[in-house]
Amino acid sequence: MTIPFMDLQAQLRSLRPELDAAVARVLDTGHFVLGEEVEAFEKEFAAYCGARHAVAVNSGTAALHLALLAAGAGPGHEVITVPFTFVASVAAIWQTGARPVLVDIDPRTFTMDPARLEAAITPLTRAILPVHLYGQLAEMGPIMEIARRHGLAVIEDAAQAHGAAQDGRQAGTWGDFGCFSFYPTKNLGACGEGGLITTADDGAAATLRMLRDWGQREKYRHDIKGFNARMEGLQGAILRVKLRHLERWTEERRDRAALYDRLLSDAEVRAPWVRPGSRHVYHLYTVRAGRRDALREALAARGIGTGLHYPIPVHRQPAWAELAGTPDVPQTDAAASEVVSLPLYPEMPHEHVHRVAQAVIEAAGTVR
Ligand SMILES: *Cc1c(COP(=O)(O)O)cnc(C)c1O
C-alpha cells in the first residue's frame, strides 16, 4: 500500500454537493468572467485576511505581475527577492521589465534574510518581494522597517501562505500588496487557475481592477494599458465554497505537522523551525536531510511520495542565465540540496503520518 504526497480528490469528494450547487449558480446566470460570485469572493477573502481591498485575478503569477506594476516597477528598476522560491516570484519581476536582484535566505525558515537586504538596495531599487515559503511568513517586521526607511514598496508573495500570520497579523496585510495563488494544490485551491491581490490603498486597488481588465474602467475606454487577468466566475463560486472550510483544513494541516514534529524529534532529519509568534500553515512539511536523495529513494521504495521544493535555485536555472552572476547564496544552495517535502494534506490519516515518520527514521538511519 502506498502513501501519496497529497490527495486532492479527498477534499473534492467531501465538498461535491456544495460545489455542484455553486457551479449550477454560475451556469444559471451565465456570468463566466468576473461577476457577482467573484465580487462576493473578493469581499469574503478580504475579510478573512483582515485586508481593506481584494482584487481577484486569474493566477498567482498575474497577482505578482500586476501588484509590481501598481507599485511602479518597470524597465530601469530593480526588485529584490530570493532565489529559493518557485520561479514565478522572479518571473513576475522580469515581466514588468525590472531586473530581479536575489538575496540569500535565513536557513531556519527558508525565507528572505533581512540582514542581507540593505546591502542589495541601490538607487534603482523600486520594491522588495519577500516569499512566505512553505506556509510561514518571511520576517516582515525588519523587512518593512528597511523598506520604509528607503521608501520602497513591499509585495508579499503569499501564494503558499493563506491564513498564515506573524504576531496575529495575517499574510497579505504587512506589505503594500499581498499576492495569493489559488492553483489547485495550494492551501486554498480553485478547480483551475486563480489568484488575488490584497491592498490597503484605495487608489492602487482601483488601478489593479483596471490592469486586470485591459485598463478599462468603463467598457471600451482604455485609460491605461492593461491585460486580460480576470478571474472566472466558476472559480469565484468554487473558491467561496472552499473558503468556508479553509480554517478547518489549516488546523488539520497544523495537527498533522505537530504529529510529524513529535515523531521526528529524535530523527536524523531536521523538522521545520517555527519562529516565535508565527502561525505556520504548512502548505508543505519540508525537512532537511544530509543525504536527501538517498532518503527520498528509500521512501519511494516504501511506497511513500515526496516532493522537492525546490531542487534548483532560480539563478541556476537554464532559462535564467542572466542571473548567474548573482553573488554567492550559500544558504540557498545548501537548502536546495537538502530539502525534501513529506506527504501532508488536511485529510491525511494520522496512521499515514505515523508510517511516514517511521520510514524516515529507519531510512535516515541507514542512508547516513
Ligand atoms: C504557486 C506559486 C506562485 C504562482 O502562482 P500561480 O497561481 O501558479 O501562477 C508564485 N509564487 C509561489 C511561491 C508559488 O508557490
The pLDDT tens digits of the residues spanning 180-213 come to 999 999 999 999 999 999 999 999 999 999 999 9
Band (366; pLDDT cuts 50, 70, 90) = low
What span, in angstroms and rounded, lies between the C-alpha atoms of 39 and 196?
Answer: 12
Mean of all residue pLDDT scores within the chain:
97
Asked if 64 and 157 count as a contact pair (C-beta separation under 8 A), the reply is yes
- Residue with CA closest to ligand 1 atom 2: 159
**Distance from residue 159's CA to the centre of ligand 1 (Å):** 5
- In this prediction the pTM is 0.98
Q: Which ligand 1 atom is the nearest neighbour of the CA of 62? A: 9
The pLDDT tens digits of the residues spanning 205-223 come to 999 999 999 999 999 999 9
Cell triple for 32: 463566466
**Distance from residue 9's CA to the centre of ligand 1 (Å):** 21
pLDDT at 367: 56
**Distance from residue 364's CA to the centre of ligand 1 (Å):** 31
- Residue with CA closest to ligand 1 atom 14: 159
The pLDDT tens digits of the residues spanning 59-97 come to 999 999 999 999 999 999 999 999 999 999 999 999 999
pLDDT at 171: 98
**Distance from residue 63's CA to the centre of ligand 1 (Å):** 9
Asked if 340 and 5 count as a contact pair (C-beta separation under 8 A), the reply is no
Q: Which ligand 1 atom is the nearest neighbour of the CA of 92? A: 10
- Residue with CA closest to ligand 1 atom 6: 60
Dmax over Cα atoms in the chain, in whole Å? 67
H/E stretch holding 348: none
Ligand 1 lining (C-beta closer than 6 Å): 59-61, 85-86, 88-89, 131, 157, 159-160, 181, 183, 193, 195
Give the up-direction half-sphere exposure of residue 244: CA atoms within 13 A in the CB hemisphere. 10
Asked if 271 and 72 count as a contact pair (C-beta separation under 8 A), the reply is no
Q: Which ligand 1 atom is the nearest neighbour of the CA of 132? A: 13
Testing ligand 1's pocket by substitution, the residue of 183, 187, 281, 310 carrying the most ligand atoms inside 8 A of its CB is 183
pLDDT at 364: 78
Q: For residue 5, give the 3-state DSSP assignment.
A: coil
